[in-house]
Structure 1
Amino acid sequence: MINNPRRAGTPPCAPIWHTRAHVPAWPPFRPAATPDRGTSVTPPRISFSGLADTLRTLPQYALPQHALSRLVYRVTRSRRRWLKDALIRWFARRYRVDLGEARYPDPAAYLDFNSFFIRALRPGARPLPADAQALLAPADGRLSEFGSLEGERLLQAKGRRYSVVELLGGSERRAAPFRDGAFLTVYLAPRDYHRVHMPCPGTLTESVYLPGTLFSVSESTTRAVPRLFARNERVVSVFETPAGPMALVLVGAMLVGFIETAWGGPGSYPYGRRERLRREEHARVRLAAGAEMGRFGMGSTVIVIFPRGRVQWDETLQNGAAVRVGMPVGRLTPGAKEAERS
């Protein structure tokens, strides 16, 4: 529901499926209630780190998020040699990209910047474990959060939670299996390998594109913007796996030009378009553990969700730790069916 713009001190907000940016209630710090006359008020504690995150994030509300993403989409596909070579070399230096593990380590070998950004790795760069019960990291990046849902609530950052129903597109039916389940969130930095792989074998049952905002998904924005992952544009894919249903959510961000899926092909979901929600029912697409399932054109976030009792996280996992595709992050529990890698 859109907030009433006439309400004092509260700017209008858009629903999660609308592409306009959500604007938080202002000012950000209010007493919980208005006291009776003569009652003293204890002012709320203001975290200076939280205030800094808010101040860094505020300009994003005013930026033309989708227009910027459309511009990035075009520039990163330019095949003007001088432009794409300059962009690739600058980017590789700026973010210290390890081209030694790329299939094509020479920057000049790429047709455009986008081809470089979604570069393939050389064979053997991400070996898979022999354990068929291992649950694998879906992407290279940083483990921002993991653990258990509290009912339908997932942890976004310290002090911030959001709804799995919202994340998966507002469908109670789609979200029901994941209540009190397990989740893992991986943030992909600009320097990371930007292809997403299957954590375990799975058969695709549903794919949903959800329009939304395009906030950055940096650490400061994740801490500052409420329900960030349930507001940004995203692609939700649901698979049937040996551990039951698995939701794999690819969340877009500012300057993300597109998301591709293995079954949708190139440019499956170009961001920056004011497109409505799109559901797709697919033939039985089966992907093996470690198989590529999607790609990001510029960086973002991947969220994996399982039902309760189907996954046991590795005891050595820690928030903030670096993960790589194929790295074991947990195990399918004994109650799950035996997985067979193909």
Structure 2
Amino acid sequence: MIPAKLFALIQYPLPHHLLSRLVGCLAECRIGWLKNALIKAFIRQFKVNMNEAVESDPTVYPTFNAFFTRALKADARPLDEGLLSPADGTLSQWGEIDAGRLIQAKGHHFSMAELLGGDPLKASDYRNGSFATVYLSPKDYHRVHMPVAGTLTEMVYVPGRLFSVNDATTRHVPGLFARNERLVCHFETEQGSMVMVLVGAMIVAAIETVWSGQVTPLSGRVERVRFDKPVHLAQGEEMGRFKLGSTVVMAFANKATFEANSANGPIAVRMGQRLGDM
């Protein structure tokens, strides 16, 4: 097994975007025998529970991406109360934003302004708020949902690298989430301002939202989209999805109380699970 630090270091010279686009082409392949072989191998490798899916027959999906972003049955992820997990995955970091800085991993921090694409004015809203980071591994359900009800006000595409976002890389690549390509979604909620950042990663072919469809990849510059016509999303409603796995960083202008505060380390979570209270 490659040591974690070496795994992180060998990613620096790799052509992140080229590799990701090549994998994206493969994931959109419609050659029946090939896409079926990929899907079945993935199910075996990661022990995917297809009984949860609306369509349980893996051969029905037209592409690997269609399978990967599959919808689940309505009762597969019941919604709890309070602040909810936006996705299946691992709650890797959570807590208070300390003077505009968030924890990436032990010994690594990054600034809210950097995460938002260099917007100190927006970042100031969250200077003393709270945040939570959920990592979606390949085996997880890859649609992202609303932790609380909110109204979308602005979407910002921020170009960047595509480092892997697994545990090894988050521990050894400084400012990882503020370096990778990402989609920043600003919401207004009854609990105050909230931002959800969908972070791209190596071999993530694209990020989609329910209001704009596929958003990434885009050009090499920051692009902002304001929404004069409100986009309202209920708590637990889908807001986006990853075509292959990645990470969601959500931040709140007001403080949240997390039930995970008593945990000693990262914990597994499921979409709709209660994380705490605003």
Give the alignment's TM-score, normalised by structure 2.
0.96
Q: Secondary structure at the match of 2:249?
A: strand
Equivalent position of 2:234 in the other structure: 288
One-letter amino acid of the counterpart of residue 60, structure 2: A
Cα distance in 1 for partners of 2:66, 2:33 equals 15
Retained in 1: the 8 A contact 2:192–2:254? no
Are residue 268 (structure 1) and residue 219 (structure 2) matched?
A: no
C-alpha distance after superposition, 1:291-320 (max 9, x if no partner): 0000000000001101243x2212566332
Cα distance in 1 for partners of 2:28, 2:202 equals 17
Q: Secondary structure at the match of 1:294?
A: strand
Higher relative contact order (CA 8 A, sep 6+): 2
Equivalent position of 1:188 in the other structure: 136
Cα distance in 2 for partners of 1:258, 1:108 equals 22
Equivalent position of 1:165 in the other structure: 113
Equivalent position of 2:258 in the other structure: 313
Runs of 4+ in structure 1 deviating by more than 2 angstroms, as ranges, are: 315-319
One-letter amino acid of the counterpart of residue 261, structure 1: T
Which structure has greater strand proportion?
Answer: 2
**1:58 Cα deviation after fit:** 1.4
Equivalent position of 1:104 in the other structure: 55
Retained in 1: the 8 A contact 2:91–2:134? yes
Equivalent position of 2:43 in the other structure: 92
Cα distance in 1 for partners of 2:195, 2:219 equals 24
Retained in 1: the 8 A contact 2:109–2:175? yes
One-letter amino acid of the counterpart of residue 56, structure 1: F
Cα distance in 2 for partners of 1:307, 1:123 equals 31
Based on CA coordinates, which of the two structures has the bigger radius of gyration?
1
Retained in 1: the 8 A contact 2:183–2:197? yes
Are residue 122 (structure 1) and residue 73 (structure 2) matched?
A: yes
**1:100 Cα deviation after fit:** 1.4
**1:118 Cα deviation after fit:** 0.3
Cα distance in 1 for partners of 2:179, 2:239 equals 23
1:170-181 matches, within 5 Å, as 170-181=118-129
Q: Secondary structure at the match of 1:245?
A: strand
- Distance verdict in 2 for CA 1:115–1:206, change over 3 Å: same
- Distance verdict in 2 for CA 1:87–1:317, change over 3 Å: farther
- Distance verdict in 2 for CA 1:325–1:317, change over 3 Å: farther
- Distance verdict in 2 for CA 1:181–1:117, change over 3 Å: same
Equivalent residue pairs, number: 275
Equivalent position of 2:276 in the other structure: 330
Retained in 1: the 8 A contact 2:191–2:254? no
Structure 2: segments with no counterpart, 5+ residues: none
Give the alignment's TM-score, normalised by structure 1.
0.78
Cα distance in 1 for partners of 2:244, 2:68 equals 7
Retained in 2: the 8 A contact 1:211–1:277? yes
C-alpha distance after superposition, 1:156-213 (max 9, x if no partner): 0001101010001110111111002100000000000000000000000110000000
C-alpha distance after superposition, 1:39-97 (max 9, x if no partner): xxxxxxxxxxxx93221211111211100111111111111001100000011111111
Are residue 83 (structure 1) and residue 38 (structure 2) matched?
A: no
Q: Secondary structure at the match of 2:36?
A: helix
Are residue 201 (structure 1) and residue 201 (structure 2) matched?
A: no
- Distance verdict in 2 for CA 1:219–1:125, change over 3 Å: same
Q: Secondary structure at the match of 2:28?
A: coil
One-letter amino acid of the counterpart of residue 243, structure 2: G
Cα distance in 2 for partners of 1:313, 1:156 equals 17
Equivalent position of 2:194 in the other structure: 246
Q: Secondary structure at the match of 2:7?
A: helix
